[in-house]
Structure 1
Amino acid sequence: MKFVAHAVLGLSFALVNPVVGAAPAAPPARAAAAASAAHVQAVQDLLGAMQAEKVLRGVAARSRYQSQAQRQAVFDKLAKTPPAQVYRRLAPPLARVISADTALEMTRFYQTPYGKQVVHNKYNSASQIMMPGMKTVVPPEEKKERKRAAYVKASAELAQAQPVLEHEAFKLLQLINKEGS
């Protein structure tokens, strides 16, 4: 029943879009840039700096499984998948939503000491209690860094691409799961 509902919904979108005249998904210049090997490599480098393989593990942890054995099998397959392969497979679809400039800027940021700390805290930190009025301590040089126009723009673009990253990670997780079967 759920499949039928999705099929009808998808078919209705396919029939309505040509009549309404939908805008192209990406400007031609952006689409051409997505095909560039250097652009894909820049996104791949960004995924490495972000440790995107951990995003894949997070998606796997939030997914539902029929049994604990199936969950464990998925995590075993992920453990055997090299991080470089994850970056290589995620980069092409993400290059459509992450510009080369953003990839280069955010890779540079994640390779700074503060950027490495941000990545570490994102994946490895336990919950922390913040009392009212408390503020996190950010060194002055990092405050200055976060105000740079290139960083602000790149950070906003990367935040907008986060849902696509999660979706592509889910699709890749399904492929990895099927490959081992």
Structure 2
Amino acid sequence: MKFAVQAVLGLSLVFTAPAFAATTVPAAQATAANPAHVKAVQDLLGAMQIEKVLKGVAARSRYPTEAQKQAVFAKLDKTPPAEVYQRLAPTLTSAISVDTAIEMTRFYNTAYGKQVIYKKYNSGAQLIMAGMTAAVAPEEKKERKRPAYVKASKELADAEPAIEHEAFKLLQVINKEKR
């Protein structure tokens, strides 16, 4: 009996989820954001290489078959990064302020910021034993003390769930598109 109830609930979610999952931003809301704000967020998404977050979301998602998973990744490979930035930026303007976008874009375009991005997407697991502290580069120490960076970094960290959520929604839309 439990299995039957779970199966019915599962199927109802499967059939109703697409109706809710592919919701798009209304035109009024998408255009309500200042174009300079949208451009600043696009620049930030580019500096963050947000298309890699989209691939990470795809990798963590479940697919009925391996072929469907490969099809999603093929569609992502065909989607230019600039298109991802353009499609995500309008919805993320509510989570990322202009000041944060400008400051974090500046940071991620520095030599140290590029290292941070590289390590974020390309580093493996790291083992830190009790009592060990990570070495902090002098440029990072200097950067961490700037009030504008501190504020922007916190706001961007707070926006991470919104970024992941919007990336998931965009992934669903891209998956439904014919490419």
TM over 0.5: yes
TM-score (norm 2): 0.81
Aligned-partner residue type, residue 83 of structure 1? P
Give distance in 2, aligned partners of 1:141 and 1:53. Answer: 27
Give distance in 2, aligned partners of 1:141 and 1:121. Answer: 16
Distance 1:132 1:34, change over 3 A: farther
1:113 to 2:115 alignment: no
Q: What percentage of aligned pairs have identical amino acids?
A: 68
TM-score (norm 1): 0.80
After superposition, the C-alpha distances for 1:106-162 in whole angstroms (9 at most, x for unaligned) are: 001111111111111110111122222222222223202111111111111111111
Q: Give runs of ≥4 in structure 1 deviating > 4 Å.
A: none
Aligned-partner residue type, residue 129 of structure 2? M
Q: What residue in structure 2 maps to residue 71 of structure 1?
A: 69
Aligned-partner residue type, residue 44 of structure 1? Q
Q: Is the 8 A contact 2:112 2:139 kept in 1?
A: no
Q: Is the 8 A contact 2:91 2:166 kept in 1?
A: yes
After superposition, the C-alpha distances for 1:38-73 in whole angstroms (9 at most, x for unaligned) are: 100000000000000000000000101000000000
Q: Which runs of 5+ in 2 are unaligned?
A: 1-8, 17-28
Residue 82 of structure 1, CA deviation: 0.5
Paired residues, what number?
155
Give distance in 1, aligned partners of 2:144 and 2:96. Answer: 19
Cα RMSD (Å): 1.9
